[in-house]
Structure 1
Amino acid sequence: MKISVIIPVYNAEKYVTNAVESALQFDEVFEVILVEDKSPDNALKVCKTLAEKHERVKLFQHPDKGNHGAGASRNLGIKAASGDYIAFLDADDFYLPNRFDAERELFKNPEVEGVYGAIGVHYWSEKAKEQYFNIYQDRLTTVYKNHPAKDVFPGLIGMRGSFGLFSIDALTIRKSALDKMDALMKTDLKLHQDTDFLMRLAFYTKLYPGILDEPVAVRGVHESNRISQVDSGKVKPASTRVLLWKHLKNWAQNEPKMPKEQLLHIKRIHRSFEIANAPFLKKWGMVLKYLVKDFRSIRSGLYNINFRKELF
């Protein structure tokens, strides 16, 4: 196996060295691709030092050396990668020693196009733990049981009940499988572009479970995590998720192979977040409208804990 590990780097000078070293521990990691995204801190200097020190570390920036977001940075890394497999790692996260144990066996089967696993949590400071422990605690982010590849996409969009989820840090994909995608990461999504990517990837490719009952990578939580600020409510979650589901709805409507039942489900989830994000009077007008016109849209939303928090 020749694995290219792609690390987008923004405002991560304190953490990126740990991320890189956690990837370099594996012989299968052919290269670590750092994509520095015009960080306001000294991350570029740290990245240059890492590239000089380690032959397998390669440093890239966007052609204009500007800031383009995690999605565009990962896309640049994918295009630059020369390995047969692609793995991802955020600059403030890190891999554990068992990261590719399942991949070594599963990828012997040519039908396996991607492998996903579980991730754990590490708090980089006591302050971060105080702020975010009530959200993440010490729980695994994982899929709760082994599922056939055909059930992964319906599971991720919420059609398989208590399915769980997996992080991009715990995904390894054959690079050739990405040719099936309609597009790589959506660059106009500032948040949740990885979630959008994983859902579309699950539709087009065959993803298999790896290690689900223990972490293969760790999410590093600190005070300036952008996604932690969404999860904690500092950034209004419905306003970011409505954009995610709008993208998914638009994609699903234009995908000729999308089953009708799955398209309708995506539309209903999008509507539920639209309602949650609407001003007070409009919100209740939309609730009444869909109670009459499409009760399942409201019911789908009411089963979603984030929707309930926003609505009530």
Structure 2
Amino acid sequence: MQSYISIFGSVSVPILMACLLGYLFQAFRSPDTKILADLSLFVLSPCLIVGSFAGSSLGSSSFGHIALFTALQTALCWAASLAAGKALRFDRSSLRSMEMTTIFANSNNYGLPLLLLAFGTEGFAIGVTNVVLHIVLVNTLGLYISSRSSFSPRQAAVAMARNPLIYAAAAGLLLYALRIPLPGSLADGFRLIGGAYAAVVLLILGMQLRKANWRSGMRRELWIAVAMRIAGVPLLSWLAISLLGLRGLEASVLFVQSSMPSAINSVVMMEKYGGDPEMTALNVAITTVASFLYLPLIIHWAHGF
């Protein structure tokens, strides 16, 4: 019980605070959230990627395990959400929303502090690498999924190629592979700018929740997508871990991190490129609230790996 209260106080309260401020800002000022979405996608996340990869001390073996898990778990979640949406006859925008919220977890601003509490600094180091890979995915695969609801596949691919994060990730990976450290002042600059990423996307979530029509938003598609994230994703993550034969701390961290509530980044992508931002924001809100109850069970399960 004490650890549960500690997790709520150190992780959940700051998240709720940022969302509330975004909600109030939208209520009283009505800003254009697309400007903030552009800022997070084209400025903040590339700086976060370069700074994180270039400063990583993780071994190449662990990096390979994390990358393999991320790729396999993403493929399983994408296939499951796509199959479920097609079978249940979701419309195009609702299907895109469920794909995004099933594939991408809130592994950064919620997941990393939780990992530090549950698994210490070693678990945190594994989590940081997974976060960076997911930010790359959400800004490439996520961009493709969200923009397909309003663009043709060719237009979506062109938009993805124009995303600076792809090139930031390539530069960061090159620095990591060659073990080339950034000059101190440059590294500080990347950390300073990239450090604003989590706060900005949380504010965007709060602003989107203020704009959402809660009454009309509570529909069948939303609850199916919520069930996919809370129940389906942990099972698929467990399957990926079993198929790869992962054990110990790596398996525990990756399982917990992938079972987090839906990613706030998904709201940003829907806001920027189309789809159903209302359904996505409601999914993020509901799964985040539910996570206060189910995450302690997930952590308990993970300690058995």
Structure number with higher strand proportion: 1
For Structure 1 versus Structure 2, the TM-score category normalised by the shorter chain is under 0.3
> TM (normalized to structure 2)?
0.27
> TM (normalized to structure 1)?
0.26
Give the number of the structure whose alpha-carbon radius of gyration is greater. Answer: 1
Which structure's relative contact order is higher, taking Cα pairs within 8 Å and 6+ residues apart?
2
Structure number with higher helix proportion: 2
